[in-house]
Each structure stands twice: as structure tokens, then as C-alpha cells.
Amino acid sequence: MADLSVNIAGIDSPNPFWLASAPPTNTGDQIARAFDAGWGGAVWKTLGEPIENTYSRYSSVDINGQRMMGLNNIELITDRTLEDNLIEIAEVKRRYPDNAVIVSLMVESNPEAWDTIIKQVEQAGADGIELNFGCPHGMSERGMGAAVGQVPEYTCDITTWAVSSATVPVFVKLTPNITDIRAASRAALKGGADAVSLINTINSITGVDLDTMVPRPVVGDKSSHGGYCGPAVKPIALHMVSQIAADPETDGLPISGIGGIATWQDAAEYILLGATTVQVCTAVMHYGYRIVEGMIEGLSNYLDSKGMASVNELRGLSVGKVTDWAHLDINYVIKANIDQDKCIGCGLCYISCQDGAHQAIGAERSGDRTRVWIIEDACVGCNLCSLVCPVQGCITMQERDYGQTHMTWVEYTGDEPPGELYPRPKHGLTIGG
Ligand SMILES: Cc1cc2nc3c(=O)[nH]c(=O)nc-3n(C[C@H](O)[C@H](O)[C@H](O)COP(=O)(O)O)c2cc1C
């Protein structure tokens, strides 16, 4: 069986699956139960000056019966005393010496405050610390969290303070509420960070109660913007992870990937795009600690199927497969194909292609079904029909070889001899239906 153990910034972990700093890592008892379930590491719920939370703190977006596609929260850092947390960190580390215990920290922006708390958590036995420069609500209004992470100079300065106080590795947790994530990761590295973790939550309002007209989550007669996470944010986080992994200015900076991870496939995608460990919050809030069992088994089987002896062989293999649009082959051609045996005749592909894409599907009513077919010459291979089709495997995209040669936009002069550039379909065709 493939070896899942990893080392990130000098910290060993039996597997890449960590809990993110959040309610699932609020107490020592929870983290102990998580380690018993199989989690390799945990980032302790952010410690600092204990706060008061509001009643009602979460709201979510459900899509077609899938609950919590996106989760929003207005929760702050820990509301438990530092003393209690330090005792529990020491106890967890004593009982689970082989698991990674990282402690997330957020204090006011002065070197003494950072120095004091870093020494305390190190003494308790933390394997590493994570600087929370990411929370987008509440703490940012007090000059902490995203208020630091959104300004590269502050990120660099506070990282420098933390690194000069710490003897254990320092992770910097980045906010996605920024134009270019690389400005933040470069600033963290400049400040001496040993690794970055991303993403923290995305600014959001999930909805409005149409009776009371108060946005959610409701606190009395008001609400506040919160932080969005869960499956909905994974694509945004994956992109940011890949940007940092590909950035020559932060080459080699280890990454702990976070955002919408619920399965081994999600984790494998993060690792392929450059992450060494992955962190999970929403999926555990939804389904509990035991989801890690399937993640461990699934990732092991996947590595075995790829002939890889270690998860480390997987890391970063997809980073070089992300390129600028200008370097894509504009002569690569695929066309949609409908498997008539699988088609249920709903006509959705026809409607979406007709109104929302390229008018490349013909249709005719046949009893209570809609018979559909691809108009090969009009099809631009955009994928939309295969994305909307409700039947798995009914519409597939198939490559066409017209003898065309590979050509990128950079190479394209606009004056290619006939045959050099695959002739584009012309729009405005009159189609059947
Ligand atoms: C209720 C809640 C509380 C959170 N508290 C913290 C926190 O104290 N410190 C922190 O760094 N991130 C905090 N986060 C953010 C998560 O650690 C994580 O970055 C984010 O939820 C994305 O991961 P996910 O999609 O798996 O939930 C919190 C998230 C939620 C939902």
C-alpha cells in the first residue's frame, strides 16, 4: 500500500489529511477523537484574546437538495480561555506524539503580543503555528485577520515578528479576499514563513429572508457579511493554490491546501496542484470526523492504481498543465456525441445549446420525447450539452483529427495558409427542430 506520510516545513504527519482551524478543532477532546478516527494533523481553533460570539452564526446555500453547498459564518476566534487551550494542547501532544498539532494564532498587531503567545503555545508542545491573517469578519474590524492579510506589507512585518519569536515552523494562512494571492504568499515568504495555508473564507452574504428582509444569518434584526466556505469555494481555492505553486518567486514554499475538500478526490486534486497537506472544515462540520476513513482508503487505492509508492510522487504533477490561454492549442478540436441508447429525450441539451450556446443541436418532437442530434459543422466543442445532460455518459466529447497542426494564439498570425488553422464553425446557421 502506498505511503501516505508527508513532511511539510519540517513537520511529520502520518497522512496529508488535517483538520482546519475551526469548530472541529475547538477542544482537545475533539482533536483526540479526530486523531483516533485517522486524521494526520489538526490546526487548533485560532487562539488569542477570547471573544464573545453572536447567537446565530452560520447560514448556507443549498442547491437542488444538496445541503450546505456553501457555508457562511460570522464566528470569531476561540471563546475559550488560553489557559484551558494550553493545557489541552499539551495533553493532546502527550497522547498523540506522531500527529501534527499546529496552533492557529491571532493577536493584536504588536511584536510583544505575538512573542508572548508564541512562547506559550510552543511550551505547550505545538509542532507549528499558523498565523491567521484571513478571517474576513469581526476580527478584521479590530485590525486583525484579513485586515493584515490584505496588505502585503503588514503580512510581511507580522510574519517577521512571529518568525523571530518562534522556534517551530510558521505557517501563514492567507485570505482569498485579495486581487492576486501571489502578493500575499510572496509577502509571507519575505517575512520568513515556512509554509502557507489557503484559503480562509470568502466574503459573502448567503441570502435574505424575504419576509423579514434581514440577510442571513440573522442576529436580532440585523446580519453581517460572513466568510464563505464548503464545496462552492473549491474551484477558487484550487486556482489560488496552483498560482502559488507555479510562482517562481515562491518556488519551493510548502502549501497546505484548504477549501471545499470532502473526498479523497478533492484532496488528490489539491496535491496535484501543489499542496503537501490538505485541511478540512465544512465537510467535517457536515458529516463528522469519520469521513477521513474513506479519504485515506481512496487516496491509497488511487496511488496504487497509478503505481506510486508515496503520496509525495503525486505532488505538483498538474501544476505545469495550467498555462495561460495564449499557450493553448487553438487547433485542438472536439465535437459532442449523443449516445441515442442512453438519451431520455428530455431536450435540455437542445434548449441550452439553442439559447445559451452555439445552435449546434437539432431536435424534433417524437411522441413525448425530443429526439436530438449534433450538427457537426456548427458544434464548437464547448462542453455545455455534456454539462447539462442529466444522464451520466450520454453526451460525450470526442476528438477530431482533420490533419490540423498544433497552433497557439501566440503563434497564430491571422494569415495562415488554408488547412493550417482548423476552419471555425460559422454562427447563424438555420438548424432543424
Ligand atoms: C464556523 C467556522 C469557523 C472558522 N473559524 C476559523 C478560525 O478560527 N481560524 C481560521 O483560521 N479559520 C477559521 N475558519 C476557516 C476554515 O479554517 C477554512 O479555512 C475554511 O472554512 C475553508 O475550508 P472548508 O471549505 O473545508 O470549510 C472557520 C470556518 C468556519 C466555517
* Cα separation, 135 vs 127, whole angstroms: 22
- Residue 19 DSSP symbol: E
Nearest CA to ligand 1 atom 19: 200
**431: pLDDT confidence band, cut at 50, 70 and 90?**
very low
Nearest to 129 by CA among 218, 21, 32: 21
The set of residues, in sequence order, having a beta carbon less than 8 Å from that of 430 and lying 6+ positions away, is none
Q: Average of pLDDT values for 312-327? A: 96
Count of Cβ atoms closer than 10 Å to residue 108 Cβ: 12
Could you tell me the residue ranges of all domains in the chain? Answer: 6-320, 323-433
List, by residue number, the catalytic residues: 135
Ligand 1 pocket member 280 (CB < 6 A): yes
Which ligand 1 atom is the nearest neighbour of the CA of 72?
31
Count of Cβ atoms closer than 10 Å to residue 35 Cβ: 23
Nearest CA to ligand 1 atom 29: 22
Q: Is residue 429 over pLDDT 60?
A: no
pLDDT (0 to 100) of residue 201: 96
**415: pLDDT confidence band, cut at 50, 70 and 90?**
confident
Torsion angles phi and psi, residue 92, rounded to 5: -60, -45
Ligand 1 pocket member 77 (CB < 6 A): yes
Domain 323-433 in CATH 3.30.70? The answer is: yes
CATH of domain 6-320: 3.20.20.70
Ligand 1 pocket member 28 (CB < 6 A): no
Nearest to 135 by CA among 149, 146, 151: 146
- State in Å, rounded, how far the first CA of the chain is from the last one: 55
Structure confidence by residue, pLDDT tens digits, 24-33: 999 999 999 9
Q: Which amino acid is at 428?
A: G
- Look over the chain and give the mean of its residue pLDDT values, rounded to a whole number: 93
Structure confidence by residue, pLDDT tens digits, 218-255: 889 988 899 999 999 999 999 999 999 999 999 999 99
pLDDT (0 to 100) of residue 412: 81
Ligand 1 pocket member 20 (CB < 6 A): yes
Percent of the chain scoring above 70 in pLDDT: 95
Structure confidence by residue, pLDDT tens digits, 93-118: 999 999 999 999 999 989 999 999 99
* 357: its cell numbers: 450556446
